[in-house]
Structure 1
Amino acid sequence: MWASTHNESLKEKMSAVVSALSACQKETGSGYLSAFPTEQFDRLEALIPVWAPYYTIHKILAGLLDQYTYADNAEALRMTTWMVEYFYNRVQNVIKKYSIERHWQTLNEEAGGMNDVLYKLFSITQDPKHLMLAHLFDKPCFLGLLALQADDISGFHSNTHIPIVIGSQMRYEVTGDQLHKTISMFFMDIVNSSHTYATGGTSVGEFWSDPKRLASNLDSNTEESCTTYNMLKVSRHLFRWTKEIAYADYYERSLTNGVLGIQRGTEPGVMIYLLPLAPGSSKERSYHHWGTPFDSFWCCYGTGIESFSKLGDSIYFEEEGKYPGVYIIQYISSRLDWKSGQIVVNQKVDPVVSWDPYLRVTLTFSSKGSGLTTSLNLRIPTWTSSNGAKATLNGQDLPLPSPGNFLSVTKTWSSDDKLTIQLPLTLRTEAIQDDRPEYASIQAILYGPYVLAGHSIGDWDITKSATSLSDWITPIPASYNSQLITFTQEYGNTKFTHLNDSSGSEFSSLNDFIGKSVMLEPFDSPGMLVIQHETDDELVVTDSFIAQGSSVFHLVAGLDGGDRTVSLESETYKGCFVYTAFNLQSSESTKLGCISESTEAGFNNAASFVIEKGLSEYHPISFVAKGANRNFLLAPLLSLRDESYSVYFDFQS
C-alpha cells in the first residue's frame, strides 16, 4: 500500500512496527522472532500435532523483506537475515539428529511460502545458506508429481501447496532452472482445466478433490479466499514470463469474482474465509460467516487485507526493448507514471452496465520528456467479441486483432493524443468442470468477466432455450430503481417491490399512492407477485400468470390514522387488509385479515405501513433470467452480501 501511495502516515506506522519487532528479536538474542515460543517447532520436528508454525514465520519474513525491498529499511533486512540464520541452523540440526526425511515430513504441516521468501532473500544477499534453505522447503513429494506432469493433486491441502509452487516459480527466476518454469505452467494448466470454478477459485473444504468432479463439491465450504490470493500470484508470474492472454484473463476473472466480493461492501475488517457456491448459498451463512473487525483474524484476513492493498499491482506491465513498452492487462481507472517511457498514462473506464453491453476505455497522456517512441499493448480479452469491437486513435479507427490478442500501438505520445477502445460485453454460459454426462447441464452465467449469481434460496432450474441468451436473459434498466419502494413498520420491516406502470412515473408524495390499485413484485423474484388466497391465510409469492385478480391491492390511508402511513386493502376481499405479526407480538408471518368486532387490538397498527424509498437498488449489472419454475434476478456475485444466491444453474432442455 505504501509503495503505491507513499502515504507518510503508513510509512511512520510500518517503520514503528519494524522497530518494535527488532527490539523483541534483540531481546531473544538468537535471531528467533515470533509471537509463539520455540517449543512449537520442537513439537513440529517431533511430529507431534501443532498448528502451522512455519506459516507464521513466512508471513513475518515476507513482511520484513518487503520493508527492505519497497521502503529501503536496512534494519528489516538485518532482522530477516538473522531470523533465517536461526532457521538454517534449526533445519540442519533436524537433518543431523533424525534425517532429511524427517524434515520433509514437517512440511506436511502448512508452511506458507518459505521457499519463495528464501529465494527472494538469496537474490539480494547471494548467501549460499539462503539458497540451500530455500531448496529444503521445495516439497519434493508435491513438486515431484508436477515435474512428472501427473494430474494427481487430489487430496492435497490447496493453500499449503499453492505457495510451494510460487516458491518454485521464484526458484526459476533466481536460478534459471527451466524445470521449475515447466512445473508452474503444468500446475496452472491442471488447476485451471480441472479444479476451477467459474469464479476462478479452487478447493472445497480447503482441499482439492478429484479432477473434473466439481459438481459434487458445490457447498458452503468452497473456494478458500487464501487460495485465490495465491493463484493470482501464480498467474501473474506466468504472464510476466509468457505474455499469454490466458493468464491475464484468469487474473481478471479471479480478482473480479474471487477477491472483490470477499469484503462486506466497504465495511473495514469484515471478510469471509470461504466463498460458498452451493445453490441457495449466502456469504453470511458460509462456514465462518462474515468475520468481525476486532475479533476475527484467520489466515484469509491476512491475505484479504493484502489483496485490497495491492489492487493496482497487475494493471500495467513494463517491457524493455528497442521501444519501451507497457502491457495494459486490466481495465481499471488509474494513472501510470511511466518513468522510462517519459509519459503519464491516464486510464478512464466507464461504469459497466447491463443495458449498454460495452466496456469503454479512454487513454490520455501527459509527456514528461523530449519525445520518446514507446509501445502500448492493450489486452483484447477472450470474453469479448469482434462484432462491435472498436478502437480509435485521435478519432481514427485502428485495426483490432481478434479476442485473445493484444492491440499494439507504437508512437511518440503527446498530451494531444487520445486512444479509445470499445469491447462488447457478451452474455455466455460456462459448464462446470465435471466430465460426467449427468452433470453436463450444470452451468454458470457470465457477462464479460463477471459471474452472475441469481437471487435464490435453492432453486436453480432453468429451461434452456434453443435461441440466443438475449432472448431469455434481459437487462434491467436504471429507470427501474425509481419503481422500488419499501413498506416499513416500527417493530419490523417487510420489503416489497412496487412496480409502477410502464411509463415509469415516480410518486412524489403519499397522496400519489392513496387510491391506487397496485400489484407487489418482490425485489428478488422478478415476474412473481404477492397474492392472497383466502382471508386469514398467509400471503404467498407466485407466478404473475397464475396470480390474476388475487394479486391486486387498493392503497388507502393508514388504518392507524397516521399522517404518513398507508394500508393495503384486498380488491378481492373488501374490508380485508395486509398485516404483519410484529405489532401483534405473534410468530405468524404476513397475512390478510378482515376487520370485524372480534378484530384483535393492535390490528390497525399491524396493517399500517410507512412508504419509503426502496432499501435495495438494482445493481447496474442486473438481468432477469427466465427460470423453469420462476425468474431469477441476476447480479454480479461480487455485489452480494447477505442475500441467498445460486452461482450455478441446472439447464434443462
Structure 2
Amino acid sequence: MKNVLALFYCFLVFSGVCAQENKTKASPANRDKISLFSLQDVRLLDSDFKHIMDLNHEYLLSLEPDKLLSWFWREAGLTPKAQPYPFWESEWMGGHGPLPGHIMGFYLSGISMMYDSTGDAAILERLNYILKELAICQQAGGDGYLLPTINGRAVFENVVHGNFETSNPFIDTPHDKTWEPVYVMNKIMLGLYQVYMRCNLPQAKDILVKMADWFGYSILDKLSHEDIQKLLVCEHGSINESFVDVYEITGEKRYLKWAQMLNDEDMWVPMSEGRDILQGWHANTQIPKFTGFESVYRYDGNEKFTKAARFFWKTVVDKHTWVMGGNSTGEHFFAPEEFERRIEHNGGPESCNSVNMLRLTERLFCDYGEVEKVDYYENVLFNHILANYDPDQGMCVYYTSMKPGHYKVYGTPYDSFWCCTGTGFEQTSKFGQMIYAHTDEALYVNMFIPSVVSWKENIQVRQETSFPDESSTHLTISGDSEFDLKVRCPYWVGTSSLTVMINGKRQKVKAGADGYISINRHWKDGDRVDIDLPMKVEVVPLNQASHYIALKYGPIVLGVRIPDAQLQKA
C-alpha cells in the first residue's frame, strides 16, 4: 500500500511539473539575453521594501471580492452580491461615468504576484472564488464577453457598425461617452494571465482565452485597419501585449495575428524612425503601448517594434524624466525647455507612469542586458516608487509634486481606487523582481536590497545590507558550485572606487564592458562576499532647470521632512 501511495504521489508531482512546463505553447522568435528570476525564487528580508510589501499584502486580502465583482455581475445581467467600491469604481465625474471594474484587473495581477512573492495559501483561496464568479458572469453572456464597462456590449456594437468617435480617454457613441473600455479589458486580461502563470489556476486561462476570442472574432475581424487605428486613439493599455500572452500560452497563431493588428501607428511608426513626437501626449497612455510593441517583436521578430520601444525608452529617460526618476507633469509629456516652469505645478510625475516604465525596463533589460536599464530602475524604485508609500498604512500617492516644500496626498484604503491604487498593488508585490538576474552560467546582482535568491543546483545567495544607510552589501553563498557571480558596478560609484572582498581577502576586480564585476570560481558553502559601495553627496539639476537643484547621496535623492506648521501656502 505504501508503494502504491508513493507511486501515486510521484505521479502527482510529475504531472504538476509537466503542467508547469507546458504552460507556454509558443516560443519567442527572440529569446532573453538575460532572464529575471521568478518572484517565488526571491524572498525579501527586513527592509523598507519588505515593510511596504507586508502592508500591501494585508491590504490586498482586506478588499472584498464581492465589491470588486459587483459591476461584472451587473453587466452580465446578474444580481450583484454587494455594491461596488466608491470613487473611480462607481462615481460619475466631470460629465462622464466611472471606470467600473478596472481595479479588478490590477487586483488579479497584484495578488497573484503577491502569492509568488510570499506563497500565502489564503491568496489561492481568494483567487479561486473570484475565478469561479468571473466564469459565471462570462457564461451568462454565452459568447466569451466579460467586461464590467457600463453598457459595454452596446458600445462595441456601435464600434463594429462604425458609429463611434475616439478621443483620449473616451469612446463616443450616439448614446454613450465611455471611459477606456479596451484599457479595462487589457487590465483584466493581464491579471488573468498573471494568475494562470504564477498561481497555476487553469480556470484563469480558460476565461482569458474566451475573452480574447470574443474581442478577436466579434470586434477586430469585423473592423477595417483604419477603424482599429481609430479605436486605438482611446487609451488601451497594452492590449497588444495581452494577445501576445494568449498566443504564448496557446500557440494558436490567430492571437499573434490579432496582436499585430493592435499596434498604434501614431506611436510606433515615428518612434521607430527616431522621431521624438511625445510633447503634449498623455504619458501613461503611451508607455504601456511600448511594452506591447516589444512583446510583439519578441514573437514576430519585426525590428521596427523594438526600435520604437528602445528609442521611446531612451527619449523618456533622457529628455522627459525628473531627477527622481518620474516623468511628465499633470500626466502629459512636455518639451525639455519647460522643466523650469513645470516645477511650480502641483501635479508632478504620476505613479502609474513610473510603474509602467519599470515594466518596459524589465522587458528591455531581458532582451538586451544593458546595465543602464538597471541604473534607471534603481533610481525610480528608490526615489519615486518607495517614496510614494505611506510607511504607516502602505497607501500610495497619485502625483509626486516637484515643487520645493510641497506635500503628498495618499490614497485611502477603501475610497480612492485610482489607477495608481491599482499599479500600487502590482509594484509592491514585485519588489523582488529586478534585484537579481541570471543566464545559464552566471548569477547577476543588480540591486542592493536585503533578500535571498534561490538558483539552480541548490544554490542560494543571501544579501544582507542596510543600503543606502550603509555604503556596502554582503553576500553569503549556500551550496557548492562553479559559476560567475556578476555584481553591478553602479554609475554613482565608478569602477575605481568599488572594492570586493571574498572571505576577508581583497580581490583585484574591474567592471567589464557590460557594467558588471565578474567573479568566476568554484563557490563553496558559506563563502562570503563583501562589497564596498562608496557614496558621495552631489549637487545635480532637477533636469533642465537652472534655478532649482537637488542633492543626491549615491543614487538617493535627498529630502527633508517639514513639520506641517512650517508649510506655507504658495
CA–CA separation in structure 2 for the residues paired with 1:43 and 1:308 = 39
Question: Contact 2:511–2:518 at 8 Å: present in 1 too?
Answer: no
Aligned equivalents of 1:644 and 1:104: distance in 2? 48
Paired residue for 1:247, among 366, 373, 376?
A: 373
Against the structure 1 CA distance between its residues 402 and 365, is the aligned structure 2 distance closer, same or farther, given a 3 Å change threshold? closer
Letter paired with 2:517: L
Structure 2 CA distance for partners of 1:254 and 1:645, relative to 1, 3 Å: farther
Within a 5 Å distance, the mapping from 1:245-394 to structure 2 comes to 245-268=371-394, 270-284=395-409, 290-320=410-440, 324-338=441-455, 340-353=456-469, 358-367=470-479, 371-386=480-495, 388-394=497-503
Q: What's the counterpart of residue 559 of structure 2? A: 453
1:237 is aligned with what amino acid? R
Partner of residue 444, structure 1? 550
**Aligned to 2:360, which of 234, 246, 254?**
234
**Bigger Rg over Cα:** 1
Give the 3-state SS of the residue equivalent to 1:11 in structure 2.
helix
Task: Determine the C-alpha separation between the residues in 2 that align with 1:645 and 1:228.
Answer: 28
Which residue of 263, 267, 277 corresponds with 1:138?
263
Pick closer, same or farther for the CA change 1:262–1:312 going to 2, 3 Å: same
- In the aligned structure 1, how far is the partner of 2:319 from the partner of 2:301? 29
Code of the residue aligned with 2:557 in structure 1: it is: V
Higher percent of residues as helix: 2
Report matched runs for 1:491-640 at 5 Å.
Answer: none
TM-score, scaled relative to structure 2: 0.73
Amino acid at match of 1:64: L
**Equivalence for 1:14:** 127
Q: What corresponds to 1:167 in structure 2?
A: 292
Matched ranges for 1:89-238 at <5 A? 89-92=217-220, 94-95=222-223, 99-218=224-343, 219-238=345-364
Q: For residues 165 and 70 of structure 1, what CA distance do their matches in structure 2 show?
A: 23
Cα distance, 1:62 vs. partner?
0.8
Moved over 6 A (4+): 643-646
Shift of 1:417: 0.7
Offset at residue 212 of structure 1 (A): 4.3
Per the alignment, residue 594 of structure 1 pairs with none
Cα displacement (A) at 1:402? 5.3
Q: Alpha carbons of 1:94 and 1:429: their partners in 2 closer, same or farther (altered >3 Å)?
A: farther
Amino acid at match of 1:238: L
Q: What amino acid sits opposite 2:424 in the alignment?
A: G
CA contact (8 A) 1:115 1:167 kept: yes
Contact 1:156 1:207 in 2 (8 A): yes
The percentage of counterpart residues that share the same residue type is 27
Find the aligned partners of 2:332 and 2:346 in 1 and give their Cα distance: 14
Partner of 1:58: 186
Residue 83 of structure 1 pairs with residue 198 of structure 2? no
- CA displacement, residues 15-39 of structure 1 (integer Å, 9 cap, x when unaligned): 2211111111111211111222323
Deviates more, 1:175-184 or 1:307-316: 175-184
Alignment deviations for residues 270-324 of structure 1 (CA, whole Å, 9 cap, x no partner): 321111112232113xxxxx2211111011111011100110011111102xxx2
Quickly say closer, same or farther: Cα 1:341–1:240, change in 2 above 3 A. farther
Deviation at 1:192, TM superposition (A): 0.9
The alpha carbon displacement at 1:644 in A equals 8.1
- Asked if the contact 1:94/1:103 (under 8 Å) is kept, the reply is no
Aligned amino acid, residue 164 of structure 2 = A
Residue of structure 2 aligned with 1:41, choices 156, 161, 166: 156
The alpha carbon displacement at 1:173 in A equals 1.5
CA distance in 1, matches of 2:122, 2:525: 33
2:179 alignment partner, SS class: coil
1:366 Cα shift?
Answer: 1.5
How far apart are the structure 1 equivalents of 2:467 and 2:333? 36
- Contact between 2:473 and 2:531, CA under 8 Å: does it hold in 1? yes
Give 3-state SS (helix, strand or coil) of 1:345's partner. strand
Q: CA deviation at 1:4?
A: 1.9
Aligned-residue offset at 1:409: 1.0
Counterpart contact for 2:448–2:467, Cα < 8 Å:
no
Classify 1:85/1:185 alpha carbon distance in 2 versus 1 (closer, same or farther; 3 Å).
same
User: 1:450 offset after TM fit, Å?
Assistant: 1.1
For residue 13 of structure 2, what is the aligned residue in structure 1? none
Instruction: Note the C-alpha offset of 1:432.
Output: 3.5
The CA distance in 1 between the partners of 2:234 and 2:140, in whole Å, is 28
SS state at 1:344 partner: strand
Gap change, CA 1:169 and 1:212, over 3 Å in 2: farther
Cα distance in 1 for partners of 2:226, 2:349 equals 32
| Structure 1 residue 198 displacement after superposition | 0.5
Is 2:212–2:246's contact at 8 Å kept on the other side of the alignment?
no
**Distance in structure 2 (CA, Å) of the matches to 1:35 and 1:231:** 27
Instruction: Give the Å deviation of 1:42.
Output: 4.3
What SS does the corresponding residue of 1:429 show, helix, strand or coil?
Answer: strand
1:581 corresponds to: none
Tell me if the contact between 2:511 and 2:517 (Cα under 8 Å) persists in the aligned partners.
no
Structure with the higher strand share, 1 or 2: 1
The residue type equivalent to 2:541 in the other structure is A
Q: For the residues of structure 2 that align with 1:454 and 1:349, how far apart are their CA atoms?
A: 23
Give the deviation of 1:211 after TM superposition: 3.4
Please give the per-residue CA displacement for 1:540-571, whole angstroms capped at 9, x wherever unaligned. Answer: xxxxxxxxxxxxxxxxxxxxxxxxxxxxxxxx
Q: Which runs of 5+ in 1 are unaligned?
A: 285-289, 458-493, 496-523, 525-642, 647-653
Does the 8 Å CA contact 1:385/1:423 hold for their aligned counterparts?
A: no
Contact 1:52 1:111 in 2 (8 A): yes
| Residues 437-490 of structure 1, C-alpha deviations (whole Å, 9 max, x = no match) | xx4343221111111124569xxxxxxxxxxxxxxxxxxxxxxxxxxxxxxxxx
Tell me the distance in 1 between the aligned counterparts of 2:475 and 2:117: 20
Per-residue CA shift, 1:92-136, capped at 9, x if unaligned?
A: 3551xxx32122111111101101111121122122221122112
Aligned-partner residue type, residue 156 of structure 2: F
- Root-mean-square deviation (CA), in Å? 2.2
CA-CA distance at 1:242 after TM superposition: 2.4
Aligned with 1:213: secondary structure? helix
Residue correspondences, number: 440
1:386 positional shift: 4.9
User: Which letter maps to 2:427?
Assistant: S
The whole-number CA distance in structure 1 between the counterparts of 2:247 and 2:337 is 39
Q: What's the secondary structure of 2:463's corresponding residue?
A: strand
- Taking structure 1 as the reference length, the TM-score comes to 0.64
Q: Deviations over 1:185-227 (max 9, x none)?
A: 1111111111000011112111111134322211211111111
Provide the rounded CA distance (Å) in 2 between the counterparts of 1:83 and 1:200: 36
